[in-house]
Amino acid sequence: MIEQSGANEESNEMYEHFRFVVDKGQALLRIDKYLMAKIENASRNRIQNAARAGNILVNDNAIKPNYKVRPQDVISIVLAYPPRDTEIYPENIPVPIVYEDDDLMVINKPPGMVVHPGHGNFTGTLQNALLYHLQQPENANPEVKPYLVHRIDKDTSGILLVAKNELAQSRLAKQFFDHTINRTYVALVWGNIKADQGTITGNIGRDSRNRLIYTVCDEEDKGRHAVTHYTVLERFGYVTLVECRLETGRTHQIRVHFKHIGHPLFNDESYGGAEIVKGTTFTKYRQFVQHCFKLIPRQALHAKSLGFIHPTTRKYIYFDSDYPEDLSGAIEKWRNYSIHKNLEET
């Protein structure tokens, strides 16, 4: 029996998970050879890195690369996402590196930057920029490359974690699989959310009418399980500032979940937030909202913080970021509007 889940277009987490139950008639065989035969395009080095990282469990116990499989063993393996076939060229593109050591980099990605090449974006991506950075004389090492462990949308800003070798990538991928990565997002959403705190649960899959977007699936057996926790930070009447904590990392998860509960992200064109969803019909209000749209010409979503166990030191490290200029400008506009509106009503 084979079960597979993990990295695909429906996930922002860059790993693959496989589960096998070994046949009753299986002869003793090294686990790397067994898994190479079972998993398409899985190299021996990739599997051995997974074992060294503690990502291969047999009967719920981590094993060494020389383990020999036995009949009816239950094998679970988390593999870091393999490098894309697309050749990546270094490009001299400035990118804010918050932290860097021999194993990883923490990036504060600006809005508008695609994370990796593909789907018509073969240049100008974060990976192009990081490859250039890593090939500079002071960094040059043929073994060091930017290995993705997760991704965020093109028009989402904020903290992103990148590994610099396969072993670090494998260990970080396991933390995403185990849901031990702590990450928060901040979003400006339409409407006045009633509860101060809440949880949105709903399987996410592609929209059958528009394959470029996602939706919460009505049927429980469709889509992929997704959970978003939120806390209200500030209320501005017609919009609300919320902090989101993710249990899962589905593509467009926050955007889809808040659309589902009737509070699409401010200026999120794909999910109905790029029009006046809440408010009045007064001309001055429409002009105010249009001005806010110009201030932040994208969905109002920022990956604010990230905490994880360092893959080598095994110490917990945490990174936080300020709001980008466009988001902070829009928040300040709404804050001032809310104050003036309340004064007028008193």
**Residues belonging to the active site:** 153
Contact 157, 328 (CB under 8 A): no
Distance CA 196, CA 260 (A): 18
Rounded Cα–Cα distance for residues 53 and 45 (Å):
12
Q: Which long-range contacts (CB under 8 A, 24 or more apart) does 52-57 make?
A: 52/167, 52/170, 53/167, 53/170, 53/171, 53/174, 53/311, 54/171, 54/174, 55/79, 55/170, 55/171, 55/173, 55/174, 56/31
DSSP state of 324: P
Contact (CB, 8 A) for 228 and 244: yes
Distance, first Cα to last Cα, the chain:
67
195 vs 87: CA distance, rounded Å: 48
Residue 118's region, left for phi above 0, alpha for psi from -120 to 50, else beta, is left
Residue 130 phi, psi (nearest 5) = -70, -35
Q: Are 267 and 156 in contact (CB under 8 A)?
A: no
Q: Which long-range contacts (CB under 8 A, 24 or more apart) does 89-95 make?
A: 89/123, 89/128, 89/131, 90/128, 90/131, 90/132, 90/135, 91/123, 91/124, 91/128, 91/129, 91/131, 91/132, 92/129, 92/132, 93/124, 93/128, 93/129, 93/132, 94/129, 95/126, 95/129, 95/130, 95/133
Q: From CA 300, how far away is CA 69, in angstroms rounded?
A: 50
